[in-house]
Amino acid sequence: MAESNRVLIAPSILSADFARLGEEIMEIEKAGADWVHIDVMDGRFVPNITIGPVVVKAIRPETKLFFDAHLMIDDPAEYVDSFIDAGADMVTFHIEACNDPVAIIEKIKARGKKAGVSIKPGTDVNALSAVISRVDMVLIMTVEPGFGGQAFMEDQMDKVKKIRDNFGGYIQVDGGINKDTARVAIKSGVDVLVAGTAIFGENDYSKAISDLRG
């Protein structure tokens, strides 16, 4: 694991109550969340549209939690600065969405932030070979990106196992995470769990986070 044996929990605000988003973020911080996972979708790279830098900027003062901006968008290089300016601590982009991933990583690092790279379920893990030594985190999607509430794709754990022994950074999974699939992910070598409905769909956020962490 990247820093310790502690599994990090990153609630995805895509599943939060947007009418009271600031309060929701304060509540997950009190409940023991480690990061805030921010799903950014543009309606082109994935078939949904979510939030942009203006929302990130608005919620940044509400918490000291680490902001993990997951850019599920075309041309991520064009928006790196906007999300960092808004308050992102790490910017994660999709290897499928860019022609020069090394340049994007360098751009993120030049701003003093952490860089992550993600792959969709249909993308071979070898697509990461040119960049894996340069990033702080690899995000393995365990659903097709675009919508919450999908079923966990356990076969994606083969990718986790392939990179775990040779990668010293974080390995994150996103999609279909609940207290049962979390066990599968952790056993495979995952150290950051993104969860939406498994947290925000529960009445007791503290218990939900504790259940995921195990």
- Parse the chain into domains and list their residue ranges: 8-213
With a cut of 70, say whether residue 148 has pLDDT above it.
no
- pLDDT-derived band at 150 (thresholds 50, 70, 90) equals confident
**pLDDT score for 43:** 92
Pairing state of beta strands 90-94 and 8-11? unpaired
- pLDDT-derived band at 14 (thresholds 50, 70, 90) equals very high
- Mean of the per-residue pLDDT values of the chain: 95
pLDDT in tens, 76-87: 999 999 999 999
Q: Across residues 98-102, what is the average pLDDT? A: 95
**pLDDT score for 1:** 41
- pLDDT-derived band at 205 (thresholds 50, 70, 90) equals very high
CATH topology of domain 8-213: TIM Barrel (3.20.20)
Residues noted as catalytic = 39, 174
